[in-house]
Chains A and B, each alone.
Chain A
Amino acid sequence: MKSTSIFILFIILTVIADAQTTDKRSISGFVKDNFGKPIQGATITVQDQHIATSSDVDGYYKLAPADLSNQTILHVTAVGYVAQQRTWNGKYIHDFQLKEDRNAIEEVTVSRFGKTDNERKVAEIKRSGFNVSVIDMNVHANQTANINQILRTAPGVTFREDGGLGSNFVFRINGLDAKIYIDGVPMDNFGSSMSLNNIPVNLVDRIEIYKGVVPAFLGSDALGGAVNIITKQRSRHYLDLSYSHGSFNTHQAALVGMYTNPKNKLSVRTNAFYNYSDNNYTMYSEPQYGVVYEKTVDNKFVPIDKVKRFRDRYYSAMGQIEVGLRDKSWADQFFVGLTYAANNKQNQLGATINAVNGGDWRASQYVMPTISYKKQDFLVNRLFADIYASSSYDVATIRDTALYNYDWSGTWVAGKNPSDVNPQQHEEQNTTNFLARSNFNYDFDDERNHSLNVNYNVNTNNRQTYDRILDYNKSGLPSRMTRHIVGLSWQNQWFNKRLVNNLAIKYYGLDTYKEVDEREFDANHQLLNGSIVSYAKYFNYQGYSFASRYRIFTDGGAKFSAERAYNMPTMNALYGDGQNQIANWDLKPERSDNLNAGFYYNTFLNDDHFINLDIGGFYRLAKDYINTRIVTVDGQSKFQAHNIPGVKLYGAETEIRYGYKDVITATVNASYDKALDNNKYTDETNQEVSLTYGYQIPNRPWIYGNLDIGVAQNDWFEEGSRTQLSWTTHYTHWYYLSDAHLGSLASKNHIPSQNVHSIMLSYSWHRNKYNVSGEVRNLTNERAYDNFRLQKPGRAFYVKLRVSLM
């Protein structure tokens, strides 16, 4: 581990040294608004020369004028902003800060001409009827964080994990199981090495969080919400390299690089990350919350004040390279790629803390070739095609080599008899996955007043499980799952784009198949009875949705959406993961009828202050709500997905954001999220009313909120530097672990209210080229829990170095 860290540091320092040279033939810089937010699509021209460029998603531009003199004038224009001009004055770096043009603000019209795909998508999101919030991950680039830590600060989002880096998690939006996508591709497809809790922030440009109705182009069985992670993609040279080190022997490194040959448009993109942590943090007994860690002394369980997690190491690594062409007559983008990922995760705990594993781990290796194609004016004018296909192969090894369980003191607990040892486990799961996604969007006119979008997504998983210790001929039977999702949507704009609607229908098909060895053998391996039996199920459903946004005034409007949608079970939910989750073949797809409404308002005061207000509410009626329960198998606690026949969910959330120039930002949000048991009768004759009918489903957070304050100072020590201090607080209100109204309150266990504060200080110089930051997470060492007795890491310190070369 130490040698790896030194190597990464060496790379960073080498890049820093190389980066000191300045390109004297071109002018470059950033175009930002008054609040420091990059302005994408600003046009930068050199007066009297036919040279122009536009700023990218970072607000970055680069020009190479033919002639430069002190009289050379640079012009910057951007829709909705007051134009600026400046003489060259001998400086090769020119940053612009444009003020909003309050008289000119109108709905940004996104022409299909001359816009990048990224711009087009951002604008689509802005004007759509979908309830979507976008997190700019570049703001968080200096944090030692994975996506989950940022994502959980969004209103309506809960992210429950059972430990430190790489731990298992449950992610929900407004109470429902949300689907996660990477660049529009379902994350299920990426294997266990890519998940919300191991992708570093540096790989990501932005995160789109959809609540309620999900756009058809995210063609999957999302229900109630989705997250689309947009990775960094630039059409210019770009390199971002970061490394962080911190508590619990945590190392994280990330690399993003892009190169495009300006002549032949050959483009190469690469992403990579590496994560390592011992996760050996301290957990404390808190008897008032029912949290007591114990060890065994003389056949008694006796409490321990504090324990350290052990044998919970985690590492993951991923490398991805894509090579392709841009801006060709036959393709806007055509890339082929290869992703390789690997991880190794020790599994200290099952579903509870009752059994402490000493030799349980899971490792996986994953390879995925991909091909993607994007083209505007595909075959006919105004038809946009986005086609993606991948095939992946994942080999997961699940082993438990410990003969005994451990107690929390870290010592193993022997059985009474020498023969009382745990069975050894060595299982191998080989999973092949094929995904094809095609999306076609046709605009009926240049103003995009009417558009049709059709999306087809097919995803096949085929798993074969081999027991490497037992059952010489019981291995290798297939489990399969194929999902077909077809979506057709019509987007329309009315009243000069004040009203935007999106109507969609969706078809869901789920094909499941498994073979079970029901043969029985005698001691001589002679067949006694039974056979290999095949089981198959097919589900198909139709869903529909309507999303609408009405702009009431320039900076404010209302949104409404309604849908009937389905969520298909995952492979692990149906077939188990071979480790902590056991199979539930009887699991049914979850259906939900959803209503969402929201109001947004943005305003500016004296050009220096902005205030954003978002208020939203939701109502959902879910049938066969998929939840997780703990079951005991051979004395071991495991997770199992199961259906709750009926659940009613409703809630509201609000977020207020304030900014003062590019100096102060403050965000506060609060979410209220109720889920009630909506299944009235427990018997077929409708005589027995369930004790829990109409009451809240326990063991889930229902009030939570976040506070984020940032203060910055520009140009300390040197011009182009930025010092930033940010403070975040995440609040979760207490909740009961069992039904709140049943049994005395004194007899109930609960997760206490928690305030987790974190603070970060970063310093960037050379206009964000070099960054160093220090971070303290959980500053007050709060006892933080998502799951009962599973305390999350306490106070932790991190340092991060980052180089970002444009």
Chain B
Amino acid sequence: MKRNRILAYCALAVTVLGSCKDSPNEPDPTDKISTEYSLWVTSSTGSYILTTDDLMKDTLLTPAGNKGIDISGYLPAAYYGVYAYNYQGKFYVSNDGTRFSQLEIQENATMKETNNYAFSSTFYLGKVLTEISSKDELVLTKTAGTYNEAKNVLEQPLYFMNVNDMTLNKTLNVDIPFLKYTPLTPDNKPYIAPYMVPTSFTVRGDKLFVGHKYRGSDGTGNKDILDSTFVYVCDYPSMVNGKLLKDPRGGVVAGHWEVNNTTFLDDNDDLYFLTKKIAPATYGLLRIKAGETEIDKDYFFDLKDYNVFKNTSSSTIQKLGNGKAYISPFVVDPANKKVTADLRILTGGAEPKTTMNLMENGKLYDVFKTDASKWYVYEYDPTTNSVKRGAEIDGGITHVYHVNKLK
């Protein structure tokens, strides 16, 4: 009898254990989030998408309190935000070496993979060629091309991705000629394993311009070498009749192989390259005028007196209209070689912190961090040359990678 009772108690214990819930309680799926705008932020431990219906609303955007969307599961590391791109409201993320995901924010505060493409070898998103991308097709590159030793070229594919079904419509390859000599260090020793990094791709009419730089090691790690601007120009889409342009005035083409652009076309179709001196790390602008395929020998806008990209290693350059461009944190008039505004002054001393800022209806949206360690979205109106402070972002974040419009 006693034994039976004991066994019954044990059975009860097993039942109690078995009745425990498998999963945590989740909120009512009808609790919808805004899907107008998003900010891609990171903390020291994760990555989050914070959404709002108005970037200028006086509100606090934070992942705390289970707000926003946890996207850490899609990324091997927070900094992979630089290998992601928002296009027509969807995110395109290269997140594990070969996977290229199309992700879409859902109203139930989740991010869902709506489609993917499996590259056969390592792929991380490089540049997006916005000039030739269309509603149904995203034209993109990967970060690192393949060096062909026999041809002494960097073979860099341009992928034409059908975003409706995530298939490749076509792939074009551009062969960018590599150096015909081994570059030397200041001590006249050869650089170790020099390699090429394409930092910009621009299609203008029937020409493709590839800004690129070289890197190598002098024994203390890889660094930018050859303090000159290199641009490869060829016919598009045939990729023939290529020639290499070189200019020593501004240094290397700024930026790296990740997605943000450091090249822009102005209203006249003049192509500007942001350049950077290796040492000291000062910036400048070079130009290839519309219809031409040579660097304008009469133009160089030296920005050495301006702290371009301070606190952001590189940020996307935005065309503001009326001949102006935003090169964080400055508004410049490249044709007239003028800096017309410093957004740090307009925001009262705050520093820009975004990698991918946003232009909408002629206004710029960027995120700045104040001296008091507060993060805010600011709206810059080029027509009035003024800023407005918008939503605050939780000060516990460590970076804002993207400001995006989702609809």
**Chain A residues at the B interface, C-beta cutoff of 8 Å:** 288-290, 296, 299-301, 354-355, 413-417, 419-420, 518-520, 522, 528-530, 630-632, 635, 637, 658, 660, 663-664, 666, 668, 682-683, 687-693, 698, 705, 707, 709, 711, 727, 729, 731, 733-734, 736-739, 741-750, 752-753, 755, 757
Contact = CB atoms under 8 A, between A and B. Distances in A.
16 contacts: A288-B23, A299-B167, A419-B146, A528-B219, A692-B44, A692-B396, A734-B22, A737-B72, A738-B45, A739-B70, A741-B66, A742-B46, A743-B46, A744-B33, A746-B109, A750-B23
Contacts of B372: 687
A734 B70 contact: no
A683 B97 contact: no
Given A299-B118, A415-B120, A752-B22, A522 B396 contact: no
Given A734-B22, A747-B71, 5 more contacts: A691-B394, A692-B43, A707-B13, A743-B63, A744-B67
A420 B119 CA distance: 12
Contact of A738 (B46, B111, B146): B46
Contacts of B168: 299
Contacts, number: 196
A744 B396 contact: no
A682 B118 CA distance: 38
A757 B33 CA distance: 41
Given A707-B13, A743-B68, A691 B43 contact: yes
Contacts of A635: 96-97, 122
Contacts of B96: 354, 635
B13 A668 contact: yes
Contacts of A736: 24
A529 B184 CA distance: 13
A300 B117 contact: yes
A700 to B, nearest CB: 13
Given A299-B118, A753-B22, A688 B219 contact: no
A296 B118 contact: yes
Interface string B101-118: 000000011110000111
Contacts of A668: 13
B18 interface: yes
Interface string B66-86: 111111110011000000000
Contact of B110 (A727, A738, A747): A747
Contacts of B97: 354-355, 635
Interface of B: 2-3, 6-7, 9-10, 13-14, 17-18, 20-27, 29, 33, 43-46, 48, 62-73, 76-77, 96-97, 99, 108-111, 116-122, 146, 166-168, 189-190, 192, 217-220, 372-373, 394-398
B10 A666 contact: yes
Tell me the interface secondary structure of chain B in the complex. loop
Contact of A290 (B73, B116, B119, B217): B73
Given A689-B395, A746-B26, A682 B120 contact: no
B114 to A, nearest CB: 12
Contact of B219 (A520, A746, A747): A520
A734 B44 contact: no
Given A420-B120, A668-B13, A690-B44, A744 B21 contact: no
Contacts of B220: 529-530
B76 A711 contact: no
A746 B218 contact: no
A520 B72 contact: no
Contacts of A737: 72-73
Given A420-B120, A691-B394, A707-B13, A741 B65 contact: yes
B27 to A, nearest CB: 6
A749 B76 CA distance: 14
B219 A691 contact: no
B120 A416 contact: yes
With a 10 A CB-CB cut-off, give which of B9, B26, B66 has the most chain A CB atoms: B66
